[in-house]
Amino acid sequence: MNRRPFDPRLLRRVPAARRDLALLALLGVLAAGLVVAQATALAVLLATAFTGQLDRVALAGFVAAVAARALVVWAQGVAAARVAATVKAALRADLLGAVARHGPGWVAGQRAGQLATLAGRGLDALDAYFTGYLPQLVLSVTVPVAVLGRVFLADWSSAVIIALTLPLIPIFGALLGWQAQAATERQWRRLSLLGGHFLDMVAGLPTLRAFGRARAQTDAVRRMADGHRLATMKTLRIAFLSALVLELVATLSVALVAVPVGIRLLDGGLALQTALLVLLLTPEAYLPLRTAGSRFHASMEGLTALDEALTLSGSAPDPTTRVGALPDGRGEIRFESVTVAYERTTALRDVTLTIRPGERIAVIGPSGAGKSTLLGLLLGFVTPTAGRVTVGGIDLADADLDGWRRQVAWVPQRAHLFAASLADNIRLGTPDAPPAEVATAVHAAALDDVVAALPDGLDTLLGERGHGLSSGQRQRVALARAFLRDAPVVLLDEPTARLDAAAETAVLSATRRLVAGRTALLVAHRPALLRDADRILRISDGRVTELTPVRAGEAR
């Protein structure tokens, strides 16, 4: 984990925050000047008050300094809240972008629960860092420097004592911070584990209820929650201990200055106004460091989340931003000795395959054999561990993936529909498609009866994940997307899975129309889909074998 109080990666990854951070630094310098001005005016005011007089100029200066200092504190709060909101929004967008560019396999590898916890509770913890700790971090630099300079001009011996005792606070704070950091990392791991398990349990709740295991999982969540509670309490104990130590060190340091000043004042070796100025400024020198130390512990969860978010979202360059050659979807697709290996398994082993233009390839095999990985390679969601995938002679590793994906129509096993109108869901890949083309795609996907039954037709708003439509209807919406895309390459991942006979017939009919005249790769188990294939490939244990090596057209 990053141990620095400020991560410089933040400025590079969130450039929009630079202006507010610069404003925070400027306000910190201004606040330091106002601290000195306020103490100077108050010292003059009190010194004259002992003589029975009222220095109106000093009073006016003191009131102005207090008012200006209050205004600066308010401005610091506004700037800190704004930079917190900017950073959280940017990091959440980066995390979603990382998920999108790395694909589903990366999400599984990094644990979906961990990402969900990080994007939610984790980044929200940055509020304490930006609004509490960071402004104090700025003040802990500017105020002690300003105070030391002013005290040195008034009484150099007191300035020497302050300069020697000031480092004690960050030293003790760092010693306790190392312990707090380890405890916070354990707390975060517990929270990520709890979030991942809870997310997995909610997703599989019907299965747990069906097998009578819901109560056992409830007990497991309770145990994890207790572990997180104990880790949190240990972190809080260290934070309270830190506050006690820092307060003690600061109090003793102030006493080391105050006692000699008092003795010299009684002996007549120091003027009253100078003594008052030193006594008023000395606590101000230690206060920002003491406050920053205590608020650092409150912000450590946010710092942990910040480090993890910056690491995850920047773990690999975004391939979609690369300017490369644009493959021609009407060209030949080749897999050349492709191997895809994950941490605990190998999905594909030394696959060599050629797909000719206009050819329809059916892929079969048991679950987990590597069929979806084969499609993921063509979509650019999966990167080969060894070997390469070329389209028209262009390696996808060096290609313009955005341009390539515009030439691909993808129909997944479970088409995801969004909480938008049916027309907007169909236009997902071609948002500017005119209504006439949408209507043509609806007809080609055999979706007319569905549109006619909806209250507002294509303008009907769907619920999350297409709530309101059956599985077969959602699959036909995905086919309508593919028809509207009118791409030369079609990838279908078991389009008839989990459908009843009537829905399967409608989807099969639309699928035949979709793949006609296009290069198609179909992951399928149903015999009806296999009959339309030019070749049938079987994947088992990551290896590809051809079952029916016939020429194009003979399989039908």
| pLDDT value of position 87 | 84
| pLDDT value of position 95 | 74
Neighbouring C-alpha atoms within 13 Å toward the C-beta of 146: 23
Whether the CB-CB separation of 491 and 378 falls below 8 Å is answered with yes
| pLDDT value of position 126 | 80
Residue 106 has pLDDT above 60, yes or no: no
Query: What is the phi-psi region of residue 394: left when phi exceeds 0, alpha when psi lies from -120 to 50, beta otherwise?
Result: beta
CB-count burial class (<10 Å; 0-12, 13-18, 19+) for 245: middle
Encoded amino acid at 234, one letter: K
Residue of 490, 481, 488 lying closest to 428 (CA atoms): 481
pLDDT digits (tens, 9 = 90+) for 469-517: 777 778 778 888 888 887 888 888 776 666 666 666 777 777 777 777 7
pLDDT digits (tens, 9 = 90+) for 33-79: 999 998 888 888 888 887 777 778 888 988 999 999 899 999 998 98
What's the mean pLDDT in 148-154?
88
Which DSSP letter does residue 467 get?
A: T
- The number of angstroms, rounded, from the C-alpha of 234 to the middle of its chain's C-alpha atoms is 27
In this structure, the number of other CB atoms found within 10 A of the CB of residue 367 comes to: 7
Determine the longest span between alpha carbons in the chain, in angstroms: 113
| pLDDT value of position 75 | 92
What's the mean pLDDT in 122-137?
81
* DSSP states of 362-408: EEE--TTSSHHHHHHHHHTSS--SEEEEEETTEEGGGB-HHHHHTTE
In this structure, the number of other CB atoms found within 10 A of the CB of residue 112 comes to: 17
Rounded distance, CA 393 to CA 390, Å? 5
Using the structure block, give the residue that is written with the tokens 């797909």. Answer: 355
Ranges for all domains in the chain classified under CATH 3.40.50.300: 333-547
Ranges for all domains in the chain classified under CATH 1.20.1560.10: 9-314
* DSSP states of 238-283: HHHHHHHHHHHHHHHHHHHHHHHHHHHHHTTSS-HHHHHHHHHHHH
Give the global pTM.
0.54
Query: For 333-547, CATH number?
Result: 3.40.50.300
Encoded tokens for 424: 């907007």
In this structure, the number of other CB atoms found within 10 A of the CB of residue 554 comes to: 9
Whether the CB-CB separation of 533 and 362 falls below 8 Å is answered with yes
| pLDDT value of position 320 | 43
| pLDDT value of position 202 | 62
Edge-to-edge, what's the strand order for the sheet holding 386-391?
346-355, 333-341, 386-391, 394-395
Encoded tokens for 332: 């030949």
| pLDDT value of position 128 | 79
Neighbouring C-alpha atoms within 13 Å toward the C-beta of 175: 10
Query: For 9-314, CATH number?
Result: 1.20.1560.10
